[in-house]
Structure 1
Amino acid sequence: MEYREKAEKAGEKLMEYYKATDWKISKISQEVSVENFEKEVTVSHKQSAEFDGHIYKAECILDGEPDEIIKYVIPAPFGVRESWDKTIKSSEIIHSEDEDFFIVRSQTHSSAMGLISSRDFVDAVILKHLDDDGIVCTNSISIEHPDCAAKDECIRGFNHPGGTFCVPEPGDAMKTKVVTFLQSDLCGMLPRTLVETALPNTMIDFFIGLKTAIDNDLLHKPPNADDKA
């Protein structure tokens, strides 16, 4: 299928970024407002090979096994992302195959104190297990889909190859290094400095929300659409 092939190719590109060593640190946060969150979140960046912007990488070590943590990252019905990620206003899986490939449409809330308005994305996402390393990862890229015309109330954005790697932590089976990649073209008339400030902060907020969700064991609680961690 065309969309699945695009997600597969995005995964190949993402692996190149995962193995790259020429990252520059953008931000290190040790002041995340979650009780007992002692591990820092490191956000790095490098020039994207896909567009005139940066790809961002954020990483942190969290409690839990890779197969379980990845379920916090993917949307319902396969995961629980919407129950804790406060950047997401809405999301809907419009097509899926065997629980390892799906097309999701999502809309974000406005950010940066309203300076960045709501964005709309349509992404092809593939879930992969890299057996040699024990890594579980998502690989995704934005696509055009005939059933997903742009919404009038928000701007259509484009996500270049991105995703999240859940990597077993050597020597501790109950800890996972989570590495997430983001290279979003938010489109519209936005100053580059605004985007380069907003995206690293968004990635730190991602980890704050993710850790809170894991601590609250949201994966095993009944869904409640009105209660986000």
Structure 2
Amino acid sequence: MTSLDVLERFEENSCVMRYTTAGQLLNIISPREFVDFSYTVGYQEGLLSCGVSVDWSEKRSEFVRGYNHPCGWFCVPLKDNPSQSILTGYIQTDLRGMIPQSAVDTAMASTLANFYTDLRKALQKE
């Protein structure tokens, strides 16, 4: 993920946000943008966040608009060690565009690995 912007806020826990990704595999896969409705709430001493892509009229020509089917993230502290949590994500992303499936599989795997690595680094700084 290269950027994340809140486009519209509805309540404390819900918003429409746009995030972008960089091109992958020497730009065989163009940079993507996603516009999602997101709802986040406390759940069993952790967090539950769910979302789905929405139609948004503003499109930027330098990105291909991807689509996220209903997805969710659960962050729940470990019972034996509340200072640590388990993060579980369920995503169903359609990158859209004309991309060979093998390129999608490779890019998604490396992008998710980088996401978790970056998240871990960010949390260790706190």
TM-score by length of 2: 0.90
Matches within 5 A, 1:52-201: 87-88=1-2, 90-130=3-43, 133-145=44-56, 148-201=57-110
Following the alignment from structure 1 to structure 2, what is the Cα–Cα distance between the partners of residues 181 and 115? 25
The one-letter code matched in structure 1 to 2:64 is I
Q: Distance in 1 between matches of 2:117 and 2:99?
A: 26
The number of equivalent residue pairs is 126
Give structure 2 stretches of 5+ with no counterpart: none
1:97 positional shift: 2.6
The Cα offsets for residues 119-173 of structure 1, whole Å up to 9 and x where unpaired, read as: 111100000222xx3341110100013xx42221121110111232101212111
- C-alpha root-mean-square deviation of aligned residues, in Å? 1.5
Deviation at 1:108, TM superposition (A): 1.6
Task: Tell me the residue number matched to 2:115.
Answer: 206
CA deviations 1:184-210 (Å, max 9, x no partner) are: 101010011111121122111111101
Structure whose CA Rg is larger: 1
| SS class of match (2:119) | helix
- Consecutive unaligned residues of structure 1, counting only runs of 5 or more, are 1-86, 218-229
Corresponding residue SS for 1:172: coil
What is the one-letter code of the residue matched to 1:192?
Q
What amino acid is aligned across from residue 52 of structure 2 in structure 1? I
Higher RCO (CA < 8 A, seq sep 6+): 1
Letter in 1 for 2:122: A
* Shift in Å, 1:178: 0.8
Q: CA deviation at 1:101?
A: 0.2
Q: Which amino acid aligns with 1:98?
A: E
Distance 1:121 1:192 in 2: 19
**Aligned in 2, Cα 1:182/1:113: closer, same or farther, shift over 3 Å?**
farther
TM-score for both structures, normalised by structure 1: 0.52
